[in-house]
Amino acid sequence: MGFLAGLGSAAMLGGAFFFQYVVGLAPCELCIWQRWPHGIAFALGLIAWFVPTIWLMGLGAATMVASVGLGIYHTGVERAWWPGPDTCSGTGSIGSMSPEQLLDHILAAPVVRCTDVAWEMFGLSMASWNAITSLGLLAMWLIAMRRG
């Protein structure tokens, strides 16, 4: 079951790369953050194929807890429920910056703001769908953990 959960995370990454490179939707900083737990979970799933230990399944579950949290956090930023990181939400204070610091800030700014919803289905953004799907993958890791 851990291997299947890992494959689920691989599918999530495949979808993210499809939207980025085929559809042309550039990811924001939080979108990139949400990919990391899936990459780690995929690697854990591959290892679990050969060494299905309970602690490995627990690590897989922990990655999905992080993914759910990031998905909910990003959804909240998109919906303006709470502020996002200054680096991608456009909410940073620039009044106290020198001209050089301001130029560095502008040049380092990501192309896509975390507050913008690039794609949605049934009123839910990709961040929301990531949180929902990650809950399902979390359940799979927990079932694998219970089976020991």
Q: Tell me phi and psi for residue 24, to 5 degrees.
A: 95, 20
- Has residue 93 got a pLDDT over 60? no
pTM, to two decimals: 0.82
Q: What is the pLDDT of residue 112?
A: 79
The tally of CA atoms less than 13 A away on the side-chain side of residue 18 is 8
Topology, domain 2-86+97-147: Bromodomain-like (1.20.1550)
Q: What are the strands, taking DSSP E only, across 36-141?
A: 120-121, 124-125
Mean pLDDT along residues 20-47: 94
Greater pLDDT, 90 or 138: 138
Q: What is the pLDDT of residue 82?
A: 92
Q: pLDDT tens digits for 34-52?
A: 999 999 999 999 999 999 8
Q: pLDDT tens digits for 105-124?
A: 667 665 678 888 888 889 99
Q: What is the pLDDT of residue 125?
A: 93
Domain ranges across the chain? 2-86+97-147
Whose tokens are 């899936």? That residue is 38
